[in-house]
Amino acid sequence: MLRLEKFSIGVGDRFAHQAQAQLRACTLAAERGITVIPVWNKSNREHSIIGSQPSSVRAAADAAVRELNWNGPYHVDADHINLDSVDRFLPSSDFFTIDVAHFIGHPADPATVDDFVDEHPELIGTIRIPGIARPMMMTPESVAAIASKYLVGIAEAGRIYRFIESKKGRANFITEVSMDETDLPQTPPELLVILAAIADEEIPIQTIAPKFTGRFNKGVDYVGDVRQFTCEFENDVAVIAHAVGHYGLPATLKLSVHSGSDKFSIYAPIASALVKFGAGVHLKTAGTTWLEELIGLAEAGGDGLAIAKQVYEKAYVDREALCAPYASVIDIDPARLPSPSEVRSWTSEQYIAALRHEPTGPDFNPHVRQLLHVGFKVAAKLGDRYLAMLKACQEPIARNVTYNLFERHIKPLFLAN
């Protein structure tokens, strides 16, 4: 089986121009003795909005790896796929994130639930898991309730996994199951039942993306109770270790944190949980690199700054349509968005101060940042003009992309201890 390393970072690269700058952040970690491997992820939704093909992600990743002589592993993630969308990802991806969120809550057939409960007597009663202070108490009814909620989705994950396996061969890809895009977080007992069911489906899962408590808004810091998050995260890590031991799941199995970029206030708790349990983690970042592109363009001044302002202006005008698909993962107060005419008067420094993710900066504007985060469609519509500007302003862009991934993400998560 293709094994995923202990520490990995999902690097989204919407316009496929920053793979080298992203990989450089991993080489900086390597120079400090920590292996953090890059996984280039791009969802079907992003491809559809931009009009790109999955093969472009692979091509950009391969080129970056050659240029920088990266000797470590690296992967290309077909992010959030299902049976309808997986086909075009098959040739170029070696990592598949099977999304079952839509199936959660579709009640499973009662006979299937009964069979599951009968086959899993170990889930009933008092379950003591090292690292979790209070034992879990499970009854046949509570296990049945969880099974009913999740078995349909996990059966679907099994079908998708087996389809991919039939095309790629068992040894040639990494499997993630995601259920983050749903309303309620999964509790540790739910995670345990889910993992038992995934083992029943014989899915060699290496990463699982639950929904965590709190808000993971796009491009900005975590909003929620950090202590509760920490407790839940540690419990999930403990449940995973327990499930690996009991159900023969791959020893590499770890949590995957989606919308993980820019969640500065939870990186320290995650880092200490990793040390406490000797666990790994996969952190998916998507739009944070695209925002650094805008920062680099603004920093370049001249035509670069002009196009960065144009993106804001169009995003401002189209904000309702742009925000709609992301409604559950952004919190934008339109009253806090500066008008396009105001932004037109901004200097490079003003644009950067509003956008760059320095949450305590006096001019930082999380509303601007979130709007631009979902505004990549505007840049996509600019087409070659935008791409030409990326090339013309490559130096400041690359510097900001690398700095952001290394200093704000990799360092606090993987190099803190």
Nearest residue (beta carbon) to Zn ion = 258
Asked if residue 46 binds Zn ion (CB under 5 A), the reply is no
Q: Which is nearer to Zn ion, 217 or 310 (CB)?
A: 217
**For Zn ion, what does the binding mask look like between residues 293 and 322, x meaning CB under 5 A?**
------------------------------
User: Pairing state of beta strands 205-209 and 281-285?
Assistant: unpaired
Q: For residues 198 and 203, what is the distance between their CA atoms, to the nearest angstrom?
A: 6
Q: Which is nearer to Zn ion, 12 or 204 (CB)?
A: 12
- In the complex, minimum distance from the CB of residue 256 to Zn ion, in angstroms, rounded to a whole number: 8
- In the complex, minimum distance from the CB of residue 385 to Zn ion, in angstroms, rounded to a whole number: 31
DSSP 3-state percent helix, strand, coil across the chain (nearest 5): 55, 10, 30
**Contacting residues for 39 by C-beta, under 8 A, at least 6 apart:** 8, 9, 10, 11, 74, 75, 76, 77, 95, 282
**Contacting residues for 245 by C-beta, under 8 A, at least 6 apart:** none
Angle between helices 348-355 and 366-374 (to 10 degrees): 90
Q: Which is nearer to Zn ion, 24 or 258 (CB)?
A: 258
Q: For residues 291 and 375, what is the distance between their CA atoms, to the nearest angstrom?
A: 10
- In the complex, minimum distance from the CB of residue 67 to Zn ion, in angstroms, rounded to a whole number: 29
User: Pairing state of beta strands 75-81 and 37-43?
Assistant: parallel
Q: Which two tokens stand for residue 4?
A: 């995923």
Question: Any idea which residue has 């700054």 for tokens?
Answer: 305
Q: For residues 385 and 137, what is the distance between their CA atoms, to the nearest angstrom?
A: 60
Q: Which is nearer to Zn ion, 218 or 258 (CB)?
A: 258
Q: Which is nearer to Zn ion, 180 or 234 (CB)?
A: 180
| CA pseudo-torsion sign 325, 387, 53, 263 | negative
**For Zn ion, what does the binding mask look like between residues 216 and 255, x meaning CB under 5 A?**
----------------------------------------
Q: For residues 262 and 243, what is the distance between their CA atoms, to the nearest angstrom?
A: 30
Q: For residues 42 and 15, what is the distance between their CA atoms, to the nearest angstrom?
A: 10
By CB under 5 A, the residues from 94 to 133 that bind Zn ion are none
Asked if residue 211 binds Zn ion (CB under 5 A), the reply is no
Q: Which is nearer to Zn ion, 77 or 299 (CB)?
A: 77
The letter for the amino acid at 343 is V
- In the complex, minimum distance from the CB of residue 80 to Zn ion, in angstroms, rounded to a whole number: 6
- In the complex, minimum distance from the CB of residue 211 to Zn ion, in angstroms, rounded to a whole number: 9
- In the complex, minimum distance from the CB of residue 181 to Zn ion, in angstroms, rounded to a whole number: 6
- In the complex, minimum distance from the CB of residue 258 to Zn ion, in angstroms, rounded to a whole number: 3
**For Zn ion, what does the binding mask look like between residues 252 and 271, x meaning CB under 5 A?**
------x-------------
Asked if residue 180 binds Zn ion (CB under 5 A), the reply is yes
Contacting range for Zn ion; rule: CB under 5 A; set: 180-188, 215-223, 293-301, 342-350: 180-188
Q: Which is nearer to Zn ion, 176 or 232 (CB)?
A: 176
**Contacting residues for 203 by C-beta, under 8 A, at least 6 apart:** 157, 158, 161, 175, 177
| CA pseudo-torsion sign 277, 145, 206, 176 | negative
Total residues contacting Zn ion by CB under 5 A comes to 2
Q: For residues 412 and 269, what is the distance between their CA atoms, to the nearest angstrom?
A: 10
Q: Which is nearer to Zn ion, 260 or 296 (CB)?
A: 260
Contacting range for Zn ion; rule: CB under 5 A; set: 177-185, 245-253, 287-295, 389-397: 177-185
- In the complex, minimum distance from the CB of residue 44 to Zn ion, in angstroms, rounded to a whole number: 12
- Name the site residues for Zn ion (rule: CB under 5 A): 180, 258
